[in-house]
Structure 1
Amino acid sequence: MPPDALALYATVILLLPMACFFLSSPTFLLVGLEIPEVTQLLRGLFNGYFIVMCVAGVASAVAYVISGRPVFAVGALAVAAVAVMARRWFLQHMDVELQARAAGEAAAVPRLRALHLKGMLLNGILLATVIANVPLVV
């Protein structure tokens, strides 16, 4: 396999989970986060997204190294590291807000919405960064 093709595949590996999250997360803007099932689904989406991004970052880094692009491998590992740290941060904060909402705190729902928007923003930044680097990969 040519190194350019392998590097392009590595980029696609990074882009796919980001694009899926980009398309699926706005649907939660249409429903109220007062509903426990909705927030559990949202928490599961965040958990799964960050796990998949960690795996995709490592897999992409390996592919970039094999294709002879170690700088992009470092970038892919940075994406994986961000995913590991963000997963822990987001899930801890979501759990705190879910407990607060269950205890009847009215301000917990807007804080859950803010966490949701922050997650969308983080994904948008990562997605834009990877897309901006596509011309450099090819």
Structure 2
Amino acid sequence: MTPDSLAVAAMIILLFPMGYFTLASPAFLLVKLDVRPVALLLRGMFNAHFLVMGAAGIIGTVAFLLAGQLVFATVVGLLAALAIGGRRRFMARMDNQLSAGDAGDTEAPRRLRRLHWSGMLCNAVLLAALLASIPYISTAA
């Protein structure tokens, strides 16, 4: 396998879960988050996304290292670290809002919705950055 094909494979590994999340997460904008099963499903989707992005980031980092593209490997490694480290904090914030909603806090669904928007926005920014970097993959070696 050539270094360029390794780099392209790494990019696909990263883009697939980000693209899926981009397509799946807006569906939750159409439902109320004060319905417990819906909120738990949203939580599960975010949790899975963080886990998959952490694993995809590690695989992508290794692939870019094998392709000899240290800059991309560093950036993707940072993306993996963000997913792995950010998961705990984001999920704790989400769990706090779920608990607050269970305790009768009527503003908890609104704060949960803000978390939802912030997660979608972060994913969109990272996805746009990765898509913008595609032309530089084969020329970076």
1:89 Cα deviation after fit: 1.6
CA distance in 2, matches of 1:85, 1:27: 26
User: Does residue 14 of the first structure (1) align with residue 42 of the second (2)?
Assistant: no
CA distance in 1, matches of 2:100, 2:70: 45
What does 1:37-48 correspond to in 2, within 5 Å?
A: 37-48=37-48
1:129 matched residue in structure 2 = 129
AA aligned opposite 1:57: G
CA distance in 1, matches of 2:32, 2:107: 13
2:102 matched residue in structure 1 = 102
Paired residue secondary structure (1:6): helix
Equivalences, count = 138
AA aligned opposite 1:132: A
CA distance in 1, matches of 2:11, 2:74: 13
Paired residue secondary structure (1:28): helix
CA distance in 1, matches of 2:2, 2:60: 16
2:113 matched residue in structure 1 = 113
CA distance in 2, matches of 1:3, 1:94: 40
AA aligned opposite 1:36: R
Please, which moves more after superposition, 83-92 or 19-28?
83-92
1:85 Cα deviation after fit: 2.2
1:68 matched residue in structure 2 = 68
- Between the aligned residues of both structures, percent identity stands at 47
AA aligned opposite 1:26: P
What does 1:80-91 correspond to in 2, within 5 Å?
A: 80-91=80-91
Structure 2 alignment gaps of length 5 or more: none
Q: Name the TM-score, length of structure 2 as normaliser.
A: 0.96
AA aligned opposite 1:129: A
1:48-85 residue CA offsets vs partner (Å, 9 max, x unmatched): 00000000001001111111111111111011011012
AA aligned opposite 1:82: L
Paired residue secondary structure (1:116): helix
CA distance in 1, matches of 2:124, 2:36: 26
Structure 1 alignment gaps of length 5 or more: none
AA aligned opposite 2:61: A
Say what the alpha-carbon RMSD is for the aligned residues: 0.7
Q: Name the TM-score, length of structure 1 as normaliser.
A: 0.98
What does 1:18-29 correspond to in 2, within 5 Å?
A: 18-29=18-29
